[in-house]
A and B are shown apart, each in its own frame.
Chain A
Amino acid sequence: AQKVTQAQTEISVVEKEDVTLDCVYETRDTTYYLFWYKQPPSGELVFLIRRNSFDEQNEISGRYSWNFQKSTSSFNFTITASQVVDSAVYFCALSEPYLGGATNKLIFGTGTLLAVQP
Chain B
Amino acid sequence: DTGVSQDPRHKITKRGQNVTFRCDPISEHNRLYWYRQTLGQGPEFLTYFQNEAQLEKSRLLSDRFSAERPKGSFSTLEIQRTEQGDSAMYLCASSLTDNEKLFFGSGTQLSVL
Contacts and interface: CB of A to CB of B under 8 A. Distances in A.
Interface of A: 4, 33, 35, 37, 42-47, 50, 52, 91, 93, 95, 101-111
Contacts of A103: 48, 55-56, 98
B107 A43 contact: yes
B56 A105 contact: yes
Interface of B: 31, 33, 40-45, 48, 50, 55-56, 89, 91, 93, 95, 98-107
B104 A45 contact: yes
21 contacts: A4-B42, A42-B106, A43-B89, A43-B107, A44-B106, A45-B104, A47-B102, A50-B100, A50-B101, A91-B43, A101-B50, A103-B56, A104-B31, A104-B48, A104-B95, A104-B98, A104-B102, A105-B33, A105-B56, A108-B42, A111-B42
Nearest to B44: A108
Given A35-B101, A45-B102, 10 more contacts: A44-B107, A45-B43, A45-B93, A50-B99, A101-B50, A101-B55, A104-B31, A104-B33, A104-B102, A107-B45
A54 to B, nearest CB: 12
Contacts of B56: 101, 103, 105
A45 B44 CA distance: 13
A44 B107 CA distance: 7
A50 B100 CA distance: 8
A50 B44 CA distance: 18
B98 A102 contact: yes
A88 to B, nearest CB: 13
Nearest to A48: B101
Nearest to A50: B101
Contacts of B43: 45, 91, 106, 108
B87 to A, nearest CB: 15
A33 B101 CA distance: 10
A27 to B, nearest CB: 14
